A and B are shown apart, each in its own frame.
Chain A
Amino acid sequence: MKIVVCVKQVPDISQAKVDPETYTIIRTGVDAVVNPFDLYAVEAALQIKDNLPQTKVTAISMGPPQAEAALKEVISMGVDDAILLSSKHFAGSDTLATSYVLSKAINQIKDVDLIITGRQAIDGDTAQVGPGIAAHLNLPLVTDVNGIVEIKPDELKIKAMTEEGYLYYFLPLPALISIGKGIGEPRMPSLRNKSRARKAIIPVWTPEEIDAEYQKIGLKGSPTQVVKIFTPEVGGEVLFIEGEPPQQAERMVEILGQRHII
């Protein structure tokens, strides 16, 4: 089986501090990491490879040259090879343009049986890129997949999460799935794969290599525009409920009642 995993590099939120005045996240000086859901996506691909050893897993990422680090990281987990999509022409892409670029790259890789993305990226939080790629490529789509129950070379049985519970599907390949946390913890890099990652030479593809139309990428290809960014209003100080537990509990319940919350 031939699998492509889409991996995005995002700022590491755990290093970000909360501004004590505005309660907003301070992002300066924050390192970049692989989007957490994309590590689960890689894990899903590797679970399939565990079952079908002839499987080849390729990771792709669209981003600045530094995003190479994210691709090396997933190679160290066991991904076979990786391609970086990087060009100033890609800069400013919204989800429509991003999913176009990724779908063109997948076309270029050829004969891909399964495309795996994360459920969502933690910076943009849109969960739109996976379905967008599926739409560009006209492929069947199941989102928020939290378990791969059965693996066959031309069909998967999968479990997807929704607000109502878990949905089970037979999914014929080729197809696209987006992955949630339930798939299982991402595996640790092995020594062998780490050294493979160090030595890996990651090709960089520009719009030329993937035959992308300039009108459809970057800012030009992005119908959405951010016109304003602002910080939301935050609540005031915390009120400490004093006393021993029985008084604390009574007082708390009283306040919630007065505020018509309960």
Chain B
Amino acid sequence: MSIKVVIDRCVSCGVCVKECPVAAIAMNEENLPEINLDKCTLCGICIDKCPTGAIVRTHQAQKAQEDYDQYRGIMVVAEREDGEIARVTYELLGKATRLSTHLKQPVTAVHLGPATDQEVRELIASGADRVIIVENEELNIPLVGVRARALHDLVVDELPEIILAGSTSQGRPLLSKLAVKFQTGLTADCTGLDVEMPDRHLLQTRPAWGGSIMATILTAHNRPQMATVRPRVMRRLKPDYNRKGEVIRIKTRPENVEDPVKFIELIKESTSKVRLDNADIIVSGGRGIKSPDNFTLIEKLANLLNGAVGSSRPPVDDGWIDHAHQVGQTGRTVAPKLYVAVGISGAIQHLVGMQSSECIVAINKDQEAPILKVADYAIIGDLFKVVPEMIKALEKRQQ
């Protein structure tokens, strides 16, 4: 990012010289303002004050940059969930493969921790041209420091131009640490990725403000370009087991796997079979459910739909259900194929967590409830009558 004067538009009024808080602007002998980029802090005051719009930000680098041509290829950081390679990894490979058709560079999957031959085959079938497995057992332990050090060494060796990971509790802190180490940009929770040729910029599109606005972001002057990507948004490729790929098995330096943090144990959450983050269908209950016992109604509907159980905030605050199920501003952001809101009014804090769902069904007795603003279908009625009928109808359908 830099700043410049568009000479054609300048009327030599001198306002910018006066307004600049760090005295970085002076008139030259032609009575045109000149910006001293060593002093300028890019605060933008002159841009605002200039009456003719003659001062603009530019995307050119201020100084000669390093030679970024040495950075090539797309690196996808694999992650595991429940003992398997997580679905988001295959989604990332699908996207990376599409980007690589423009960039004409290989896609490398990095798997931190041991992986089976079958898993490696699956990664290649799903789009990886190369698979690097860092075989140290210790990488299976959920310690972000260990994973970050191992990945750091690999990035130094590989110099990828793009690094992608899932926007998950593993991926986000891992890439955050890495971005600082490489002093480069990182865009969180992207839902769209594209490349701009010939500059090879990664165009990273992400929702902000709970999905009410979208922003496209790029990292023009730093490499690697890094992004975490929201699960369930990108499409995975149909696996092609004839695809060929290079397999590299390495070990990271022993000091990388030593960590001051001690992992004790993982206690799995047992309340539902399917979890919010990767569910295609979510059935959520709100205060309209009235009592913890009635939550079984929600669970039953969710189970029949093969979906996960969600909740608005009041049932969580009242202790009917663990807060891991809360959807919304202080809970999880979800975007399943189907979101069924049962007895939920649709306060803005709830909407920002679910309004990007593909299809939203609201079951509510109030036809003025704000949830209807974002719903595709509304069933106005008493949930204690409607939900049991839904359960019946689904059971009938499944027979």
A interface residues (Cβ-Cβ under 8 A, vs B): 13-14, 16, 18, 20, 23-25, 27, 36-37, 88-89, 91-92, 94-96, 99, 122-128, 130-132, 134-136, 140-144, 146, 157, 161-172, 175, 180-182, 185, 214, 218-220, 222-232, 235, 238-241, 245-246, 248-250, 252-253, 255-257, 259, 261-262
Contacting residues of chain B (176-217) with chain A, CB-CB under 8 angstroms: 176-181, 183-189, 203, 207-217
CA distance A180 to B332 in the complex (A): 11
In the complex, chain B residues whose CB is within 8 Å of the CB of A140: 145, 259-261
Q: Is the beta-carbon distance between B266 and A165 smaller than 8 angstroms?
A: yes
A95 CB to nearest B CB, Å: 7
In the complex, chain B residues whose CB is within 8 Å of the CB of A261: 281, 337-338, 358-359
B381 interface residue (CB < 8 Å to A): yes
In the complex, chain B residues whose CB is within 8 Å of the CB of A232: 207, 211-214, 356
Q: Is the beta-carbon distance between B338 and A256 smaller than 8 angstroms?
A: yes
CA distance A218 to B331 in the complex (A): 30
Encode contact with A along B369-392: 1 for CB under 8 Å, 0 otherwise. 010111111111110011001101
Q: Is the beta-carbon distance between A238 and B324 smaller than 8 angstroms?
A: no
In the complex, chain B residues whose CB is within 8 Å of the CB of A122: 210, 329, 352
CA distance A36 to B331 in the complex (A): 11
Q: Is the beta-carbon distance between B218 and A167 smaller than 8 angstroms?
A: no
| Contact of B268 (CB < 8 Å), options: A165, A182, A223, A262 | A165
B82 interface residue (CB < 8 Å to A): yes
Q: Is the interface of B mostly helix, strand, loop or mixed?
A: mixed
Beyond contacts A252-B361, A253-B394: 7 other A-B pairs, Cβ-Cβ < 8 A, are A23-B373, A23-B374, A25-B209, A131-B176, A143-B169, A223-B222, A261-B338
| Contact of A88 (CB < 8 Å), options: B21, B211, B348 | B21
| Contact of B264 (CB < 8 Å), options: A126, A169, A230 | A169
CA distance A127 to B181 in the complex (A): 17
Q: Is the beta-carbon distance between B275 and A163 smaller than 8 angstroms?
A: yes
In the complex, chain B residues whose CB is within 8 Å of the CB of A227: 59, 203, 216-218
Q: Is the beta-carbon distance between B262 and A170 smaller than 8 angstroms?
A: yes
Interface range on chain B: under 10, 10 to 19, 20 to 34, or 35 or more?
35 or more
Give A162's nearest chain B residue, CB to CB: B169
In the complex, chain A residues whose CB is within 8 Å of the CB of B372: 238
In the complex, chain B residues whose CB is within 8 Å of the CB of A96: 179-180, 183-186
B170 interface residue (CB < 8 Å to A): yes
B326 interface residue (CB < 8 Å to A): yes
In the complex with contacts A18-B348, A95-B176, A253-B397, A24-B261 CB distance below 8 A: no
Q: Is the beta-carbon distance between A181 and B180 smaller than 8 angstroms?
A: no
Q: Is the beta-carbon distance between B338 and A161 smaller than 8 angstroms?
A: no
| Contact of A135 (CB < 8 Å), options: B176, B203, B261, B281 | B176
Contacting residues of chain B (29-62) with chain A, CB-CB under 8 angstroms: 41-45, 59, 62
CA distance A245 to B189 in the complex (A): 39
B21 CB to nearest A CB, Å: 6
| Contact of B180 (CB < 8 Å), options: A136, A157, A182 | A136
CA distance A253 to B173 in the complex (A): 40
Q: Is the beta-carbon distance between A170 and B347 smaller than 8 angstroms?
A: no
In the complex, chain A residues whose CB is within 8 Å of the CB of B45: 88
Q: Is the beta-carbon distance between B348 and A225 smaller than 8 angstroms?
A: no
Give B337's nearest chain A residue, CB to CB: A261
Q: Is the beta-carbon distance between B216 and A226 smaller than 8 angstroms?
A: yes
| Contact of A248 (CB < 8 Å), options: B178, B211, B389 | B389
24 residue pairs from A and B, CB less than 8 Å apart: A13-B210, A88-B41, A89-B41, A89-B43, A91-B44, A96-B179, A96-B183, A126-B172, A126-B188, A141-B144, A141-B173, A163-B81, A163-B277, A168-B265, A169-B264, A170-B264, A220-B1, A224-B186, A227-B59, A229-B213, A231-B213, A238-B372, A238-B375, A249-B379
